[in-house]
């Protein structure tokens, strides 16, 4: 009889949670791996890959982390930084650790394609009172909507619309970018994007105009919004407003001298990435981009290899169309 009781007890213990052989729950596994990301030198790459391998088992918990309160990381903080090099706790408060934990969760969620299956969870966080939580959620929604492109469900697009009026500019900026591929195909989306053309933030207005032009490349208010941004004080805004204006109808390059001015100003600026982008775009335009040749030649002396390469390629393509073919 005693033997039967012992066997019964051994069989029952695992179900009561006392078995030392039970595999950790997904939540515990994710936290263990994140502890290694923050506090175990040399294990970060393996820990991140382990979370990605967990796939949909990890995603709900990573999303849950975005909505954590500071008090929810107390135990995790102590465990993670017990592994960390000496002195790291004195350089990072618990609120700072929470934000780093959220940021790491966001990076993982961006890189895990299965995240788009959990849009409902992310939309729940968009109702949070804390702007930092809404920003993270909005950026992930936008990222995965853009990745899905024209395959994104209409229901998800419609659920985004209220957040074009969010009090936080970063949330509005992320949400409006989510409409870039599908544009204003749905009437309710078109109305919301047209309202966003009056947003106080330039980047929101610019992306709303871009989305509207995806559905109607002659939308007058969208075109006027982009033209007004050609004189923005922000180089990035000036450049991309001109790009969106141009790509909506490439024939506009011949009719709008202001486009060339924006692109040439970008070449003469200090932003290495924008210089490279502008050179590549002008090279694609060909002979019509001849007025930009003097600035492109100056970039051949740039200390940045990527800029020199982009300028060289652009000049070759422009001059190939400008110069008559060599006689045999």
Tell whether pTM > 0.85: no
Q: What is the pLDDT of residues 227-268, one digit of tens each?
A: 999 999 999 999 999 999 999 988 888 878 889 999 999 999
DSSP class of residue 191 equals: H
Of 248, 189, 243, the C-alpha closest to 214 is 248
Question: How far, CA to CA in Å, does 214 sit from each of 159, 177, 183, 184, 270?
Answer: 20, 12, 5, 7, 30
**28-70+94-182 has which fold?**
1.25.10
Place of tokens 């294990």: 43
Per-residue pLDDT tens digits for 169-215? 999 999 999 888 776 788 999 999 999 999 999 999 999 999 999 88
- What is the chain's pLDDT, residue by residue, as a tens digit (328 residues)? 544 444 443 444 343 343 444 445 677 788 788 777 776 667 778 888 888 888 888 899 899 889 888 777 677 666 666 666 554 555 667 777 788 888 888 999 999 989 999 999 999 999 999 999 999 999 999 999 988 877 778 888 899 999 999 999 999 999 999 888 776 788 999 999 999 999 999 999 999 999 999 889 999 999 999 999 999 999 999 999 999 999 998 888 887 888 999 999 999 999 999 999 999 999 999 888 999 999 999 999 999 999 999 999 999 999 876 545 545 5
Intra-chain end-to-end CA distance of the chain, in Å: 105
Question: What is the dotted CATH code of the domain comprising 250-320?
Answer: 1.25.10.10
For residues 314 and 280, the answer to whether their CB atoms sit within 8 Å is: yes
What is the per-residue DSSP string for 22-63?
Answer: SPPPHHHHHHHHHHHHHH-TT-HHHHHHHHHHHGGGTHHHHH
Q: Where are the beta strands (DSSP E) in the chain?
A: none
How many whole angstroms separate alpha carbon 124 and alpha carbon 27?
20
C-alpha dihedral sign at 289, 291, 295, 297: positive
Q: Where in the chain is CATH 1.25.10.10?
A: 28-70+94-182, 250-320
- The phi, psi pair for 216, rounded to 5°, reads -145, 100
- What does the CA dihedral 273, 274, 280, 286 come to, rounded to 10 degrees? -160
Output the six-digit token pair for 280.
Answer: 């590549």
């Amino acid at each position: 009889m005693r033997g039967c009781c012992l066997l019964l007890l051994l069989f029952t213990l695992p179900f009561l949670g006392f078995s030392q052989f039970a595999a950790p729950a997904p939540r515990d596994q994710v936290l263990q791996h994140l502890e290694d990301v923050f506090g175990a030198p040399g294990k970060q790459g393996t820990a991140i890959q382990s979370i990605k391998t967990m796939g949909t088992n990890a995603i709900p918990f990573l999303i849950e982390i975005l909505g954590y309160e500071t008090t929810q990381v107390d135990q995790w903080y102590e465990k993670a930084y017990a592994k960390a090099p000496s002195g790291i706790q004195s350089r990072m408060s618990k609120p700072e650790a929470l934000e780093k934990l959220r940021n790491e969760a966001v990076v993982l969620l961006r890189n895990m394609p299965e995240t788009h299956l959990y849009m409902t969870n992310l939309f729940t966080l968009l109702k949070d009172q804390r702007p930092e939580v809404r920003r993270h959620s909005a950026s992930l929604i936008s990222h995965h909507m853009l990745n899905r492109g024209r395959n994104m469900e209409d229901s998800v697009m419609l659920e985004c619309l209220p957040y074009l009026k969010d009090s936080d500019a970063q949330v509005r900026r992320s949400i409006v970018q989510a409409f870039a591929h599908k544009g204003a195909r749905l009437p309710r989306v078109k109305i919301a994007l047209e309202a966003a053309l009056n947003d106080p933030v330039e980047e929101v207005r610019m992306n709303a105009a871009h989305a509207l032009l995806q559905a109607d490349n002659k939308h007058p208010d969208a075109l006027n919004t982009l033209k007004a941004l050609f004189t923005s004080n922000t180089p990035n805004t000036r450049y991309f407003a001109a790009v969106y204006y141009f790509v909506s109808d490439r024939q506009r390059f011949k009719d709008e001298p202001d486009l060339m001015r924006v692109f040439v100003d970008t070449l003469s600026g200090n932003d290495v990435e924008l210089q490279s982008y502008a050179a590549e775009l002008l090279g694609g335009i060909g002979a019509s981009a001849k007025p930009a040749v003097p600035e492109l030649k100056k970039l051949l002396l740039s200390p940045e290899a990527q800029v020199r390469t982009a300028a060289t390629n652009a000049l070759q393509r422009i001059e190939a169309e400008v110069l008559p073919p060599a006689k045999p």
